[in-house]
Amino acid sequence: MRSEAEVDRAVEQYADTVWRICTVHLKNHADTEDIFQTVFLKYALRPGSFRGPEHEKAWFIRVTVNACRDLLRRFRRAPTMPLEALGDRPAPLPPDHREVLEAVQALPEKYRDVVYLHYYEGYTAPEIGRLLGKNVNTVYTLLTRSKELLRQKLGGDGDGT
């Protein structure tokens, strides 16, 4: 792990380069910020030294380009749409599921989104984390809490049903 002084020097020296590469690849300010932080975090945690300043600069460029490409690949593999658009196209439900759907719709938004994506659209917790920009453990916590809220509202018996 690198010292704070080393990381500060690297940020000062390579910030503009990393930022420009991200902007060119991603064309999105929020994604650029995410990759920017990721690159410098990788640098801070990277063991060992570089052969020289040119090797260090090449490392920053390569890591930045790869991180941008990885992010773009993830977007291509998992097409997304705003959650508001999903509300306009409800999936066909048997009549006996209407009470459950109404209970889900009555949940606070942070719970409703994860429940809908997991149980109605079939996304996994890591996929939901990427879609909503949340840590996967946060998604698991939201799912657990939302199940408890639904159990209370719908009168479940607490054994996982």
Residues 132 and 81: their CA atoms lie apart, in Å, by: 11
Residue with tokens 């453990």: 137
Q: How many CB atoms lie within 10 A of CB 158?
A: 8
Q: At what angle do helices 53-77 and 29-45 cross, to 10 degrees?
A: 130
Read off the pLDDT band of 56 (50, 70, 90): very high
Residue with tokens 């607490």: 158
Q: Which of helix, strand or coil describes residue 45?
A: helix
Write the DSSP assignment of 108-120 as a string of letters: -HHHHHHHIIIII
Whole-model pTM above 0.75? no
Residues 130 and 109: their CA atoms lie apart, in Å, by: 17
| Mean pLDDT over each residue of the chain, to the nearest integer | 82
Q: Which of helix, strand or coil describes residue 92?
A: coil
Whether 69 and 24 have beta carbons less than 8 Å apart is answered as: no
Indicate if the alpha-carbon torsion angle 6, 12, 15, 17 is positive or negative: negative
Higher pLDDT: 116 or 34? It is 34
Whether 63 and 46 have beta carbons less than 8 Å apart is answered as: no
Residue with tokens 């009470």: 99
In this predicted model, what pLDDT tens digit does every residue of 57-91 receive, in sequence order? Answer: 989 988 998 998 898 888 766 555 565 655 544 45
